[in-house]
Amino acid sequence: MGEKDSETAPIWGRTRQSESNNIHRMDVESSALSEQHRSQNRSRGGSYEERGRGVKEFRSWFSWLIPCFVIANVVVFVITMYVNNCPKNSGDCFAGFLGRFSFQSTKENPLLGPSSLTLRTMGGLDVKKVVNGDEGWRLLSCNWLHGGVVHLLVNMLTLLFIGMRMEREFGFIRIGLLYLISGFGGSILSALFLRSNISVGASGAVFGLLGGMLSEIFINWTIYTNKVVTIITLVLIVAVNLGLGVLPGVDNFAHIGGFATGFLLGFVLLIRPHYGWINQRNAPAAKPHKYNICQAILWTVSLLLLLGWFIAGLISLFNNVDGNKHCSWCHYLSCVPTSRWSCNREPASCTTTQLGNQLSITCLRNGKSGSYILANPSDSRINSLCVQLCR
Q: Where along the chain do its domains lie?
A: 64-273+292-333, 350-390
pLDDT per residue rounded down to tens, the chain (391 residues): 444 444 444 455 545 544 444 433 334 344 444 444 444 444 433 333 333 343 444 567 889 999 999 999 999 999 999 999 988 888 788 988 999 999 998 888 888 999 989 999 999 999 999 998 889 999 999 999 999 999 999 999 999 999 999 999 999 999 999 999 999 999 999 999 988 888 999 999 999 999 999 999 988 887 777 778 888 888 898 888 888 777 777 889 999 999 999 999 999 999 886 555 555 555 555 556 677 788 889 999 999 999 999 999 999 999 999 998 999 888 888 888 877 766 766 667 788 877 777 788 888 777 788 888 777 777 777 777 787 777 6
Phi, psi of 369 (to 5 degrees): -130, 160
Per 3-state DSSP, what percentage of the chain is helix, strand, and coil (rounded to 5)? 60, 10, 35
Nearby residues of 58 by Cβ (< 8 Å), 6 or more positions away = 7, 8, 17, 52, 272, 278
The one catalytic residue in 105, 182, 215, 255 is 255
Q: Is 146 a catalytic residue?
A: no
CB 365 within 8 A of CB 346: yes
CB 250 within 8 A of CB 343: no
pTM (two decimals) = 0.77
CB 115 within 8 A of CB 77: no
Q: How far is CA 286 from CA 43, 49, 276, 277, 282, in A?
A: 16, 20, 12, 10, 10
Q: Which helix (H) or strand (E) holds 184?
A: helix 172-193
Q: Is 203 a catalytic residue?
A: yes
The one catalytic residue in 105, 203, 302, 380 is 203
Q: How far is CA 161 from CA 11, 147, 167, 250, in A?
A: 12, 21, 11, 22
320: left (phi over 0), alpha (psi -120 to 50) or beta: left
What's the CATH fold of domain 64-273+292-333? Rhomboid-like fold (1.20.1540)
